[in-house]
Structure 1
Amino acid sequence: MQPTQPTPPTDIRPAQEVRLPGVGRLTLKRGAMELKGFFRTKSQFIVIFSLPAIMLMLLGAMSGSRQGLPGITGAQILTAGMIGAGIMGTSFQNLGINITLERHDGTLKRLYGMPMPRTAYFGGKIIQVLVCMVAEVILLIAVGVLMFGVKLPTTVTQWLTFTWVLILGGMACTFLGIAIGSLPKSTRGANAVITLPFLIVQFCSGVYIPFSDVPWFLQIFASIFPLKWMTQGMRSVFLPEQAVVLEPAGSWELPMVALALGLWCVVGLVLCLRTFRWTARDS
Structure 2
Amino acid sequence: MADPSWDPIVTPWHLDEHLPAFPVPVGATGPIRPDLPAGTVPARMGLLHRAVADAVADAVARAVRPLVLSGDCPTARATVAGLQRRHRDVAVVWLDAHGDFNTPVISTSGYLGGMALAMLTGRTPDLFDDGLGLRPVPESGVVLADARDLDPAERDALTGSRVRRVPADPAAVTAALAGLRGTPVYLHLDIDVVDSADLPGLRFPSGTGPSLTRIAECLAATCATADVRAAGIACAWLPEHVGDPTTRPAITTLAGALGADLRWP
Q: TM-score, normalised by structure 2?
A: 0.28
Q: Which structure has greater strand proportion?
A: 2
Q: Whose relative contact order is higher, 1 or 2, with alpha carbons under 8 Å and at least 6 apart?
A: 1
Give the TM-score normalised by the residue count of structure 1: 0.27
Pick the structure with more helix per residue. Answer: 1
